[in-house]
Amino acid sequence: MASSSSTSLPLHICHGNKLTMIINRSHAVLHSIAISFLIYYRTSFLFHQPTPIIIPWLLLFTSELILSFIWFLGRAYIWRPVYRTVFPERLPNDDKLPAIDVFICTTGPDKEPTIGVMNTLLSAMALDYPPDKLHVYLSDDGGYAITLHAMRESWSFARWWLPFCRRFGIKTRCPEAYFSRTENRDSDSENPHNFMVEREKIKEQYVLFKERVRRAGEESKFKDKGVYTASDHPSCIEMPLLVYVSREKRTSQFHHFKAGAVNLRVSAMLSNSPYILMLDCDMYCNDPTSARQAMCFHFDPEMSPSLAFVQFPQAFRDIRENDIYDSEVRSAYTILWPGLDGLKGPVLSGTNFYIKREALCCHSIRKDIDLRELKDSFGPSNEFINSLRQDYKKPNLNDNGEASNMLLEEAKVLASCSYEDHTKWGKEVGFLYDSVAEDFLTGFVMQCKGWISAYVAPSSSSRPQFLGTSTTNLNDLLTQGIRWGSGLVDVALSRFSPLFYGSSRIIVPSSLLPPSLVLCHHPSSLSP
């Protein structure tokens, strides 16, 4: 709870290392001088040699110019690296905190084990945030019955797990990670005996929960046999409390991968929260205070009006000491992202970010906007358009908290694959479809429109806000790298090419940032 005296204190502090900035900029100046001498030497070669060998000289000089250009663009990362400290204890009382919709995306149990997905779901439900302001959506892009059944089992187990976490102040709120530990230093309990008794009870319930999910996957009645497949199935939405969303997919219509699976329309109809947490199904909430940390920025009166999202780093629990493939992506989250944070902020990193719904839907709906104009952008649903105009007012539910049948039927229409036809979804509204790297493209376009972002990395003495699994073998790394690289090339060759799109709206050194993001966004792409 926030005290009255804390309202005048800052919710976060941004600080930079001046010595590091001086060293980085001095190095950039010296390196630029060296490159200038190199260019002078190469060009003077034409005038000093009577019969120069043009082709080898041209190839060598071209390669040096390209590498120098990439290096020059990359200076944006080290121009002004900053680090942030948050004070969530200074936030206002819980009744003044805004609601949050949590989206967890999964494709199917074949590639993403169901138990792991459910652990991520349970960790999101257990966030240190007012329960009535937290809505968790499981976006199952495969429409598997086992995933729906496991989610129902998760809700039953959550009745045991959530009270246990809150009663004893458990910090690790992913059940699998918590029970796999041999030590019990994760609790604030003052009565160790009662704590150990309760812990054993919860552990027994968790073992039973896993067994029920495992059996469900083996029994034929929960196996996905029939006329529907992962690429061809109707929409399905389950309420209340947790929300299971499986959008309609047809083989005749392109589904746009994760960008199409994040169904903002369904959540607007059922909860309509002003903020959204995006999570991959293998990235669980390791620090239950991450939501409050993000709100430290969204509650900043100076920063909030232009703040689109707060990005947290990706940390991984399956990385070995000899990480020969750099699966941890250390350079991105320890060097590049703090550098971006000193300019306009980092772009979206696919997961672990709290984003403002207004930034995704591109709206601050005015009452004088023509209804036809709204339908051209957002589709024909009057109920959905009304939700945009209600200033994030939660839809009316039944007395027991359940959504009405009418509301669920409308949500199914919004999840259909044909709803986006002849609208601006994927073009100007929501996650953009022009690239498989939808996170980078969407974040970049937001910044070109004037939005900024913030990056919050854990200190050396604190725990990572999110933990997940990463690629640990060469085959998976190459597959992931090809996807990232091809997505960035898509952006570079599209109408959103950072060399041209939005360049006039960004000042130096920020003007170096957009093209350098395409070249250096991921370790799989060219990097200086």
Q: What residues act catalytically?
A: 141, 439
Length of the chain: 528
Candidates 446, 452, 437; CA nearest to 494 is 437
Candidates 20, 100, 31; CA nearest to 70 is 31
367 is in an annotated binding site: no
141 is in an annotated binding site: yes
198 is in an annotated binding site: no
Report the distance separating Cα 317 and Cα 324, nearest Å: 16
143: DSSP letter: -
User: C-alpha distances in angstroms, 230 versus 108, 199, 249, 367, 479?
Assistant: 8, 38, 8, 41, 21
Q: In what order do the strands lie in the sheet with 283-285?
A: 283-285, 466-468, 315-316
CA angle at 414 for the pair 409 and 417, rounded to the nearest 5°? 120
Per DSSP, the residues of 7-69 read: GGS-SEEEEE-HHHHHHHHHHHHHHHHHHHHHHHHHHHHHHH-SS--HHHHHHHHHHHHHHHH
Candidates 505, 527, 500; CA nearest to 344 is 505
Per DSSP, the residues of 163-232 read: HHHHHHT-S---HHHHHT-S---S---S-HHHHHHHHHHHHHHHHHHHHHHHHHHHSGGGS--SS-BTTB
Report the distance separating Cα 391 and Cα 367, nearest Å: 11
424 is in an annotated binding site: no
Instruction: Report helix, strand or coil for 96.
Output: helix
224 is in an annotated binding site: no
Q: Phi, psi at residue 16, to the nearest 5°? A: -125, 160
Report the binding-site residues for Mn(2+): 258, 280
Report the binding-site residues: 111-112, 141, 258, 280
Report the binding-site residues for UDP-alpha-D-glucose: 111-112, 141
